[in-house]
């Protein structure tokens, strides 16, 4: 970090796991294990992350200004947990990455790529 907040484009392309975390948090803010479970679902990337890895990822994303700590609270009778949410910059980066992926996918479709038959 050198003082100036980064532009969304400078952070592209995103790592797959960062994309999944942003996708999950764009829907709603959430806490540790819920995030692990939500990004493990197939439509959120199907990424299986151990709790310890999650916090390495969150630490990095907080540092990059994509995610923010929304404080600790108890909800629906569950034990108290720290919640994380997406920042404005996070949303911009998510949009930009989605657009980038769409473009990549379109060029793949143009070549009408098919799965290769197994040997």
Partner 1 sequence: MTRPPATGGRGLLHGAYRLIVRGLPEGFHAKHGGDLVDCHVDAWRAEALGRGPIPRLAFWVRAFASILRTVVAQRWRASRRDRGAGWNGWMQDLRYAVRQSVRRPIFTIVAASSLAIGVGANSTIFNAVNVLLLRPVPGVVGPERVADLGRTMDGRGWDTFAYPDYEDWKASVDAFESAAAFDYGTFSFSAGAEGERITGLHVSPAYFDVMGLIPALGRHFTAEEDAPGSVPRAVVLSHAFWRNRLGADSTILGRTIHLNREAFTVVGVGPAGFRGHELAFSPSVFLPMRARPLMNDGRDYFDDRGSNWHRAVARLRPDATVELAERQIGAVYARLAEEYPTTNARRGARVEPLGGVPTFLRGGLIRFLAILTALVGLILVVTCVNVAGMFLARASSREKEIAVRLAMGSSRGRLVRQLLIEALVVFSVGGLFGCVVGAWLMGVVPIDALPLPIDLDIDLAPDPVVFAQGAAVTLVVGLLFGLVPALGATRIGVARSLKEEGGRRAGYAVQLQRVFVAGQVGLTMVLLVAAGLFLRSLQEASEVEIGFDPRGAYVTGLDLSLEGYGNPEDGRSLQAALVERLGRLPGVTHVSLSDDLPLDLGSNGGVAYPEGWAADERLVADFNVVSPEYFGALRIPILEGRSFSTEDDADSDAVVIVSRRFADEAWPGEAAVGKRLRWRDPESASRTVVAVAGDVKNQTLTETGRVFVYLPLGQVYQPATQVVVRASGGLAALAPGIRAAILDVDPSLSLTPVSSLELYTGLGILPQRLAAGITTILGALALLLAGVGVYGVVALTVTRRTKEIGVRLALGADRDALLAMIVRGGLRLVLPGLVLGAAVGIGLGYVMRAFLLEVSPVDPTTLLVAALTLVGAVAFASAAPARRASSVDPTVALRAE
In terms of CB distance, is 55 or 103 closer to partner 1?
55
Q: How far is the CB of 54 from partner 1 (least distance, A)?
A: 7
Binding site for partner 1 (CB under 8 A): 31-33, 36-37, 50-56, 58-59, 79-82, 118-119
Nearest CA to 87 out of 43, 40, 39, 21 is that of 21
Q: How far apart are CA 38 and CA 44, in angstroms?
A: 7
In terms of CB distance, is 7 or 63 closer to partner 1?
63
User: Which residue spans within 27-106 are E strands per DSSP?
Assistant: 30-31, 67-73, 81-86
Q: How far is the CB of 51 from partner 1 (least distance, A)?
A: 4
Contact 41, 9 (CB under 8 A): no
Q: How far is the CB of 56 from partner 1 (least distance, A)?
A: 6
Q: How far is the CB of 29 from partner 1 (least distance, A)?
A: 14
Task: List CB contacts of 17: < 8 A, sequence separation 6 or more.
Answer: 39, 45, 47, 49, 57
In terms of CB distance, is 28 or 82 closer to partner 1?
82
In three-state secondary structure terms, 87 is: coil
In terms of CB distance, is 68 or 97 closer to partner 1?
68
């Amino acid at each position: 970090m050198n003082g100036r907040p980064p532009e969304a484009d400078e952070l592209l392309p995103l790592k797959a796991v960062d994309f999944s975390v942003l996708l999950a948090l764009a829907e709603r803010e959430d806490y540790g294990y819920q995030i692990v479970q939500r990004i493990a679902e197939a439509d959120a990337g199907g990424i299986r992350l151990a709790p310890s890895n999650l916090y390495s990822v969150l630490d990095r994303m907080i540092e990059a200004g994509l995610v923010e700590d929304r404080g600790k609270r108890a909800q629906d009778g569950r034990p108290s947990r720290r919640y994380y949410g997406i920042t404005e910059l996070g949303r911009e980066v998510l949009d930009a990455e989605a657009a980038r992926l769409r473009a990549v996918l379109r060029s793949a479709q143009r070549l009408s790529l098919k799965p290769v038959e197994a040997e």
